[in-house]
Each structure stands twice: as structure tokens, then as C-alpha cells.
Amino acid sequence: EMAAKLLPHALPMEAAPGTAHEFVVGMATRQLESHSRFLDIGDLSCVLQGAVAWQASGDRSAIHHAARILRTVWPWVASKLPYLGPDDLALALKGYCWQLQYSQQEFAVQGALRDHPFVESVADARDGGHSMRTAARTRSELDFKTKLVQHVLSRLSEMPLRQMAVCLTSLASGVSE
């Protein structure tokens, strides 16, 4: 799928993403939302690379787009875990762990979870912001732990040292000295 292959290259090298970049990623995200079940392993790898690149930019709208992309492909990532290689497993774990961290930082700062990688935030008319159903969030994070995290940990012994380091660093990123 062309949209999947486009994502890793849609981010500008030196500047923050502009409206043209956001438009391209928005179009690619909409394409992925409607055709994600047709992604093969290579396409899924491109999507994960693109999401991680957008997260790494640190731009607020880029992080929002990364969350949409990760939410869209989560069912397919979960169903294709046995077929993912070490690089793809490391990318998946890194992308979803980073996005969970971003979402939790938003909660700490603003009191509302946004840009969650598994559950869509919904506008809450009472407070004018975004809120998320706690039960859905808890279920989705448990699903993430039982599917992706446990699968990656069970395959660590098969991974080259570089991918093993990425996986362990992703899992331990919330731990500080």
C-alpha cells in the first residue's frame, strides 16, 4: 500500500512539519484507516517506522497523527506478531510504549488523556476537553501487555543485541533514577 510506504518519508528533515506534511500524513492515515486489513508485513513495518519518526519529531500535531496511525494498525500488529521479525517487533514496542508515555504526560499536565495509542479520546461537553472511558483504556492497555509485551519478551533470546536493547529501553523508559 502506497500510504504505508509514504509515512516514513513524510517528515521534513530539519524543520517542524508544515501544513503540507500534515495534509500528506492525514491523507495517508485516512487511507490506512480504510485499508489497514490489507497491509502485509512490509507495509506494517513502514507504518511503524513512520509513526516512530513522527513521534521523535516532538511536534504536537505529529504526535497526534502518530497516535491515530498506531490506533488504526493495532489490530493488525496484534494479529501478525508471530510473523514480525526482530526489527519490526522492536519498532512496534518502541512506538506503542512512546505513545503511551506521551498520553500519560498529557494526563499529568492537562488532566485529560489524549493521543492514546489504543483508544480514541472523546470530546466531553461537561469540561470542554477530552476524556476517555477508563474501562476501555484499562482493557486496551492490558491487551497491549498480554499481546505485544509478553510476545516480545518471549522472543528476546532470538533477537540481535541492538533490537534487544531497543525493546528493553522502550519498556524501561518510564523508569528514572
Least confident of 4-8, 132-136, 157-161: 132-136
pLDDT greater than 50 at residue 77: yes
The one-letter amino acid code at 77 reads V
> Rounded to two decimals, what is the model's pTM?
0.71
Q: pLDDT above 70 covers what percent of the chain? A: 67
The pLDDT, as a whole number, for residue 52 is: 87
**Residue for grid cell 511536534:** 59
Sequence-distant (6+) residues with CB within 8 A of 127 are 112
Distance CA 13, CA 10 (A): 9
pLDDT at 136: 62
More confident: 25 or 90? 90
Q: What is the pLDDT of residue 22?
A: 74
Instruction: Give the CA-trace dihedral at 149, 151, 157, 163, to 10 degrees.
Output: -60
Mean pLDDT of 100-110: 72
∠ CA 163-15-176, nearest 5°, is 45
Comparing 29 with 14, which gets the higher pLDDT? 29
Per mean pLDDT, which range of 19-33, 58-72, 150-164 is the poorest?
Answer: 19-33
What digits encode the pLDDT tens for the residues 16-38?
Answer: 667 777 787 777 778 877 777 77
